[in-house]
Amino acid sequence: MDLPFKTISSRENATYKNLRALRQAKKAHEAGLILIEGFRQVEEALAAGIQPQWLIASSAALIHERWPALQVMAETCFEKIAFECLLLDTRLFEGLSATPSPQGVAIIAPTPLISSPAGCPEEQGLYLVLEGIQDPGNMGTMIRTADAFGFDGVILAGPAVDPFGDKALRSAMGSAFHIPVYQFPSILEAKHWLSTSQIPLVAAELSGETITRSTVLQPPAALAIGNEGAGLSSEALALADRRLGIDMPGRAESLNAASAAAILCHLFALGRSD
């Protein structure tokens, strides 16, 4: 089948103006929609079962070498649930895009639900707990890190930046569609859930136990990373079963939250494979 594209050639088109308004995070949040942009991101989303309401392409995208594969995925999705297909010229697509050099393909879909998980954690699970993360780039990078190292889920404890916002999605590089993202109102409630499978909470803290070559980091574990500026809350540190610090022989006082998460996630992943 051929996707039923409707051509839009004017900025004054009502549909175009409504979709362009979704570039504002507040508008998108109110509408319960997200913009997923670029060939890789769209492919990952469709493969994960995200159901678009709109597929938007520029005329240039339809002659891109990656279009045939994406077209097959989109057609398969369209057979299950119809969505609107819009064809724009490059200038109009750039008006929708959040990136400086867009690839010319995007979908707009309902925001994936983030909720408390059903059931108990995996008994030998690895979880990344993020408390108070405010930078969307860090959020996306840490979701990608947890996905890369085979973690069983990402837990947001308390208020945090939207993991499905544009910048977070771009930093996650599709991983937000691969790994479960759970939300708890507080670190205390996250700890209670983890305790149902006796999963210890391990806090990343500058003054924690320094990791050495003999340090054993194995699952089960829930690694907690705190706010970029303030670190973990006093409540999180009090609830922690173990505190870990990363030895830094250089002159930097601390690591970026996402960098610390990457180092510790890797070590836990190595422990799982031993």
**Mean pLDDT, range 22-31, rounded to an integer:** 83
Q: What is the mean pLDDT of residues 11-33?
A: 88
* Residue listed under structure tokens 């008006």: 95
Q: Would the pTM count as exceeding 0.95?
A: no
Q: Mind listing the domains of the chain with CATH numbers?
A: 5-110 (3.30.1330.30), 126-273 (3.40.1280.10)
Q: Among 62-76, 109-123, 252-266, which is the least confidently predicted range?
A: 109-123
**HEC secondary structure over 6-50:** EEECCCCCHHHHHHHHHHCHHHHHHHCEEEEECHHHHHHHHHCCC
pLDDT band at 165 (very low <50, low <70, confident <90, very high): confident
- Span 213-270, pLDDT tens digits: 878 899 999 999 999 888 999 999 999 999 999 988 888 888 899 999 999 999 999 9
